[in-house]
Amino acid sequence: MRAVTVIPGVPGSLRLLDDYPEPATEEGAILVEAIAVGICGTDLEIIEGQYGEAPPGTDHLVLGHESLGRVIEDPTGTLQPGDLVAGIVRHPDPLPCPNCAVDEWDMCRNGMFTEHGIKALPGFARQRWRLQPRFAVGLDPALGEVGVLLEPTSVVVKAWDHIFRIGERSEWQPRTALITGAGPIGLLAALLASQRGLSVHVLDLATEGPKPALAGALGATYHAGSLDQLDFEPDVIVECTGAPVVVLEAMCKVAPTGIVCLAGVSSGGRTIDFDAGALNRTLVLENNVVFGSVNANRRHWNAAAEALSRADRTWLASLITRRVPLSEYATAYSPGPKDIKVILDFSA
Ligand SMILES: [Zn+2]
């Protein structure tokens, strides 16, 4: 069968193989036919050779961690043939650490977890794959293709889960949320903020393209420009750009008792001048919290499936700005300036 692969650590090794083996039954009882995979920055880093790890005993890593498929067979009866399904990306470490021991693999402490399409597990960019029931998430059939947004949605559900858990340290009545960065993660974070009844603001550099209207359709206020020019202090900031200046401005701008969730990954390697003492003073005197958030566990995946089911389908569909047939796979990994989410279409 066909599969999109790389040799991790080797830039330019992206290939579409025609003769990739069928998924082994050891991968799981549920056999799935791929519908689509979403593409994100992690895939591009793996293709550039910066990241990624092949499964033990092999050179090739199948890409794809944002999955959507249709169940072919499930002898366990967990799902029915024809059901829409997505695969949970991370599997717990084998030790396991205290968090993985209770299935909170998103909080793994020893880094020995594995991840489909990223770290030591084959990804979902292949025509068929298998899942164990505990890593399979069924989707509302009405979602169709937008079900491919489940993985990025699970990541922002986890971020919001932790924001509210942290908020409960005191009387917590957040009113305003600022999302920095209007890519797929930022826009989905804004969707979840609006579902939680918050007054939502989205900040991004783009003045053209679909981002302002997508934010507006959620009832959010869109700001193009810099964070320090905003005339209000948000109760919550979900930082999705990873841009060092934005990260620092977010920590300075958040309201007293505010929470800043860092959900974007910086590339590192650049230094900027800033007053660490002044930042410390603000964080201490205002009881502010800054924390990082990555990945998601089963609870978050289930909640993400519900959140997508409640969302406006047309809005979700408009996040998908390009569908690339498998035969033209390479172009899917070259994002254009107006792309939000690009998907590789296995049904074409
Ligand atoms: Zn662990």
Per-residue pLDDT tens for 78-94?
999 999 999 999 999 99
CATH topology of domain 3-138+312-345: Quinone Oxidoreductase; Chain A, domain 1 (3.90.180)
**CATH number at 154-292:** 3.40.50.720
The mean pLDDT value for 223-239 works out to: 96
pLDDT band for position 348 (cuts 50, 70, 90): confident
Per-residue pLDDT tens for 2-60?
999 999 999 999 999 999 999 999 999 999 999 999 999 999 999 999 999 999 999 99
Structure tokens at 59: 């050179």
Distance CA 342, CA 327 (A): 15
pLDDT band for position 337 (cuts 50, 70, 90): confident
Given a cut of 90, is residue 270 above it in pLDDT?
no
pLDDT band for position 269 (cuts 50, 70, 90): confident
Q: Phi and psi dihedrals of 327, rounded to 5?
A: -65, -20
Q: How far is the CA of 135 from the centre of ligand 1 (A)?
A: 16
The mean pLDDT value for 300-329 works out to: 98
pLDDT band for position 246 (cuts 50, 70, 90): very high
Calculate the CA dihedral of residues 273, 276, 278, 283 and round it to 10 degrees: 130
Q: How far is the CA of 297 from the centre of ligand 1 (A)?
A: 12
Q: How far is the CA of 291 from the centre of ligand 1 (A)?
A: 19
Cis amide bond preceding 122, omega within 30: no
pLDDT for residue 235: 98
Burial of residue 56, with CB atoms counted within 10 A of its CB: 0-12 exposed, 13-18 middle, 19 or more buried: exposed
Q: How far is the CA of 119 from the centre of ligand 1 (A)?
A: 14
Letter for the amino acid at 174? P
Q: How far is the CA of 102 from the centre of ligand 1 (A)?
A: 9
The mean pLDDT value for 183-189 works out to: 98
CB neighbour list of residue 108: distance below 8 Å, 6 or more residues apart? 90, 92, 93, 97, 99, 100
Q: How far is the CA of 115 from the centre of ligand 1 (A)?
A: 12
pLDDT for residue 266: 86
Structure tokens at 189: 């974070």
Say what the pTM is: 0.97
Q: How far is the CA of 288 from the centre of ligand 1 (A)?
A: 28
pLDDT for residue 268: 81
Which range is least confidently modeled, 58-62, 317-321, 337-341? 337-341
Q: How far is the CA of 87 from the centre of ligand 1 (A)?
A: 19
Domain positions in the chain are: 3-138+312-345, 154-292
* pLDDT, mean over the chain: 97
CB neighbour list of residue 194: distance below 8 Å, 6 or more residues apart? 200, 218, 219, 220
Alpha helices in the chain (DSSP H): 41-47, 98-101, 150-167, 184-195, 211-217, 244-253, 276-285, 298-310, 313-319, 329-332
pLDDT for residue 204: 97
Per-residue pLDDT tens for 109-118?
999 999 999 9
